[in-house]
Amino acid sequence: MTKPTRLLVIGGSGFIGARLVAGAADRGYPVAYTYLNHPLSLQAEAYQVTLDKADGSLEACLATYQPQIVIYCAVSPFVYANGDSIHQQVSVEGVRRTLAALDQTALFVYLSTNTVFGGGRGLYREDEIPDPELREDPYRTYALTKADGEKVTRETWTNSIIARTCVVYGLDVRGVLYPRVAAMVEALQAGQPLVRFHDRYISPTLVDNLVEALLETIAPTFGYRGILHLTGSERISDYTYGCCLARRLGLDESLVQTESIAASLAMANSPRDNSLDVTFTQSLLQTRLLSVEEQMARLFP
């Protein structure tokens, strides 16, 4: 009998990573994960690994567990910081170190982001060249290093998938609503105005749907290798997303008010449209990538 495939989730104590570990365990995978400071209560082996310094902990984890699949979910906790060092160590050097120590037959999945596109044109396809250098906003360093992580993956490891996602939300592994959405819900329930950009477009992604799609891509029956866009199927403005949320909760939709992103001191230089086109990816998947209304229906049944 063939032994089950060993899966390692690097960055498995984060929001997406922990849900992925739990989902993989539910499907019968022998699964392990790495964490930085505190292990979680998950049905999986846990390895304390430091990615922002080469102390040997990552290499020891890989040598001990010997995974046949690695999903690299690790990101710097300081996404908005402009200091290069921690982003470079986590999103780029950590990938190099992983691939240098990984069995040559293993599948490597690098979880990336829509922020690698800085031009603001939107509905970016999988085969379009990232342009993070065009960003002049708080995400610039994060985007540059995530794009470099993609490049290292693509050029170093043939048996790899780069999975870009966008604005992931939902319930964490403990069943707690993602803070950004929780704050929106609390404001609406309190009858307070919810101000959202009417001229910034995204592809919101329910974490449940992302995990389902990721687990499909590592199945033996999924043969594609390359870049995928694992996001919700819909390009939508922040304002319209807020309206969908209010409507789903049966709350006053008029509380959602519009503002131009140009009026935001923090976000005025951000790309206006960072949505991703999922047409090609969806043609490869059996998992259906959900619209925002479908996501809301699953999150708030």
- The token duo for 76 is 């710097």
In the block, which residue shows the tokens 């009998």? 1
The yes-or-no verdict on residue 10 having pLDDT over 80 is yes
Taking residues 210-228, report their average pLDDT.
98
The yes-or-no verdict on residue 1 having pLDDT over 50 is no
The C-alpha atoms of residue 106 and residue 290 are separated, in whole angstroms, by: 30
- Residue 3's pLDDT band, with cuts at 50, 70 and 90, is low
37 lies in some domain: yes
The yes-or-no verdict on residue 246 having pLDDT over 70 is yes
- DSSP code of residue 176: P
181 lies in some domain: no
Domain limits for position 48: 7-169+204-233+276-290
Q: What is the pLDDT of residue 53?
A: 85
193 lies in some domain: no
- pLDDT single digits (tens) 131-158: 999 999 989 999 999 999 999 999 999 9
* This prediction's pTM: 0.96
65 lies in some domain: yes
- Residue 121's pLDDT band, with cuts at 50, 70 and 90, is very high
| CB of 246 closer than 8 Å to CB of 255 | yes
Taking residues 5-16, report their average pLDDT.
97
- Count the domains in the chain: 1
Angle at 200 between CA 292 and CA 265, to 5 degrees: 135
DSSP-derived pairing of the beta strands 236-237 and 201-202: antiparallel
The yes-or-no verdict on residue 238 having pLDDT over 70 is yes
CATH of the domain at 210: 3.40.50.720
Q: What is the pLDDT of residue 131?
A: 98
102 lies in some domain: yes
Distances (CA, A) of 71 to 21, 54, 109, 116: 10, 19, 5, 19
42 lies in some domain: yes
Q: What is the pLDDT of residue 85?
A: 84
185 lies in some domain: no
The yes-or-no verdict on residue 228 having pLDDT over 70 is yes
- pLDDT single digits (tens) 41-91: 998 999 999 998 889 999 999 999 999 999 999 988 766 666 678 899 999
129 lies in some domain: yes
Percentages helix, strand, coil for the chain (3-state, rounded to 5) are 40, 20, 45
